[in-house]
Chains A and B, each alone.
Chain A
Amino acid sequence: AQSVTQLGSHVSVSEGALVLLRCNYSSSVPPYLFWYVQYPNQGLQLLLKYTSAATLVKGINGFEAEFKKSETSFHLTKPSAHMSDAAEYFCAVSSPAGKSTFGDGTTLTVKP
């Protein structure tokens, strides 16, 4: 069984501030973890994925995430928020067959 919990359904930051979106997972097997971004009326776009090669994963648009097994976490960060980062973000854990279980999402608002 696998599950994902995203802490905070809404996060608001000022432009230029640090972005931190939290994700905790539960998995009975070594997890494969993903972060997706969804802009209004668009499909999900992959930001980055953890596949056990390295615990710090760099993705697109300046985002990165660190896998911490001891904390069962995979938090998403970006040093400096941009207005274009405003969107909904989903953390997901994948089973061996690729079936993904998603969190409920975090809406990121960026204030000018």
Chain B
Amino acid sequence: GAGVSQTPSNKVTEKGKYVELRCDPISGHTALYWYRQSLGQGPEFLIYFQGTGAADDSGLPNDRFFAVRPEGSVSTLKIQRTERGDSAVYLCASSPTGTSSTDTQYFGPGTRLTVL
């Protein structure tokens, strides 16, 4: 796999349901980021992993949102009791080290989440 992949590409769910969004980063990349992009806006930071640990989760909007990266590669973003306002494109990015501001972040194509 040459790039960051995300599954599913589209997810439609009903209000109140639980969803999981998956991100496969570029092999060997230590840092992994989740962003949320609402219609007409730029990506908004959610959480950043350095290896297996969440180094910065200050962007998670509330306790319905949770993310894990148990083996330091694949990450799953979990949303409980989904609300219509959660509808957005969820972007994942990875970078080689995450310890340098000049690291290039490589973005996946995103998962479009629609909550009915």
Asked if B67 is an interface residue, CB under 8 A from chain A, the answer is no
B43 cross-chain contacts in A, Cβ below 8 A? 44, 90, 100, 102
A97 cross-chain contacts in B, Cβ below 8 A? 48, 50, 55-56, 98-99, 101
Asked if B104 is an interface residue, CB under 8 A from chain A, the answer is yes
Asked if B25 is an interface residue, CB under 8 A from chain A, the answer is no
- Count the B residues whose beta carbon is within 8 Å of the partner chain — how many? 31
Separation of A27 and B61 alpha carbons in the complex (Å): 23
- Surface stretch bound by B, among A11-19, A45-53, A60-68: A45-53
Closest to B42 in A: A102
Binary contact readout B92-116 vs A (1 if CB under 8 angstroms, 0 otherwise)? 0101001111111111111000000
A90-B42, A98-B48, A104-B42 known; A42-B109 Cβ under 8 A: yes
> Is B98's CB under 8 angstroms from A46's CB?
no
Binary contact readout A1-25 vs B (1 if CB under 8 angstroms, 0 otherwise)? 0001000010000000000000000
Which listed residue (A94, A103, A105) contacts B101, Cβ 8 A?
Answer: A94
Closest to A95 in B: B101
A32-B102, A96-B101, A97-B56 known; A104-B107 Cβ under 8 A: no
Residue pairs across A and B with Cβ atoms less than 8 A apart, 5 shown, are A4-B42, A49-B104, A97-B48, A104-B41, A105-B40
Which 3 A-B residue pairings sit nearest by Cβ, starting from the closest?
A102-B42, A32-B101, A43-B107
Besides A99-B45, A104-B42, 18 more A-B contacts (Cβ < 8 Å) are A9-B40, A46-B105, A49-B104, A90-B43, A94-B102, A97-B48, A97-B56, A98-B95, A98-B98, A99-B48, A100-B43, A100-B105, A101-B45, A102-B43, A102-B44, A104-B41, A105-B40, A105-B42
